[in-house]
Amino acid sequence: MAIIAIINQKGGVGKTTTAINLAAQLASSKKKVLLVDLDPQANATSGLNIEKQSTTTTYEVLIGSINLSDAIKPTNLKNLDILPCNPNLTAAELDLSQRPNREYCLSNALKQDKVHDYIIIDCPPALGLLTINALTASNFLIIPVQAEYYALEGLGQLLDIVQRVREGLNPSLELLGVLITMYDRRTSLSQNVSDEVKKYFKDKVFRTVIPRNIRLAEAPSYGKTIFQHDRWSKGARAYKQFTNEVLNMGRNK
């Protein structure tokens, strides 16, 4: 089983869009997939049209008041389950901070899972305790980077934290790759940012680049993945190709 965190403390870079569509495409490739919503904004939950009022969410699983299997819900896609959340998850930062094993709450919960081939974690735009829990629970990281000015800002800090987690809490954590998102081929800015990212991360950049595509932005408002919303769109084709890269990396490990 592979646990992959989609992470970047910068807001609005395409984490949730990547988490939802990677999870959906892995599921349609006959993998059993669990999408964990670890962001109190609950965008992955609403993006898959799952109600947020539930009292069996990521929060209850993290504080240990219910078992993971009692909180997991099916989605309307075959092979895709979700651990949903709602804004109450904000309280977890505080509640968990008092505990001795506060960095391991998610890791311990996910160890109960024997069903899924892939667990995809949608992280919040912050480097707090929720994100540390994701880093501790994961084998792999995917960092989406928006092809915009300031894209690289903050990545040094993120990599520093990843390194510290590797040295202590989770030595087996590995960067699967950096994914360039919202690429606009009409602008030289997108090209420049992409060149910078490749110069810095070298072979750790996914070959697939996700274009800026209005269909990707529309899909969550219908509670749909891009494949349900418009499977022939540029966005759908890019996320399919990206998922194939992820699947092929799995085969080589």
203: helix, strand or coil:
helix
For Cα atoms 39, 46, 72, give the angle at the middle one, nearest 5 degrees: 75
Q: Which stretch binds ligand ATP (CB under 6 A): 22-30, 99-107, 112-120, 211-219?
A: 211-219
Q: Which of 217, 197, 209 is nearest to 241 (CA)?
A: 209
Counting residues that bind Mg ion (by CB under 5 A) gives 3
Start-end of H helices in the chain = 15-28, 43-47, 58-63, 68-71, 90-97, 105-110, 129-137, 155-167, 188-201, 214-218, 226-229, 234-251
Q: Which two structure tokens, joined as six digits, stand for 122?
A: 């949608």
Q: Does 15 bind Mg ion (CB under 5 A)?
A: yes
Q: Contact, 1 vs 117, CB < 8 A? A: yes
Q: Does 39 bind ligand ATP (CB under 6 A)?
A: yes
Residue 205: DSSP 8-state? B
Of 35, 91, 34, the residue nearest 63 (C-alpha): 91
Task: For ligand ATP, give the closer residue by CB, 4 or 104.
Answer: 4
Task: Tell me the two tokens of residue 204.
Answer: 């750790």
Position among 4, 15, 105, 201 found at the interface with ligand ATP (CB under 6 A): 15
Q: x/- string (CB under 6 A) for ligand ATP, residues 143-182?
A: --------------------------------------xx
Residue 45 partner contact from ligand ATP, Mg ion, none using kind-dependent CB cut-offs of 5 to 8 Å: none
Task: Kindly indicate which of the ranges 15-23, 152-160, 166-174, 185-193 contains the residues binding ligand ATP, using the contact rule CB under 6 A.
Answer: 15-23
Q: Which does 217 bind (CB under 5 to 8 A by kind): Mg ion, ligand ATP, none?
A: ligand ATP
Q: Which is nearer to ligand ATP, 116 or 212 (CB)?
A: 212
**Measured from the CB of residue 217, what is the shortest distance to ligand ATP in angstroms?**
4
CB-based burial, 123-134: b 16+ in 10 Å, e otherwise: bbbebebbbbbb
Window of 40-48, 107-115, 186-194, 221-229 that interacts with Mg ion by CB under 5 A: 40-48
How many positions of this chain bind ligand ATP (CB under 6 A)? 20
Residues of the shown chain interacting with ligand ATP in the complex, contacts defined by CB under 6 A: 11-17, 39, 41, 43, 125, 181-182, 210, 212-213, 216-217, 220, 235
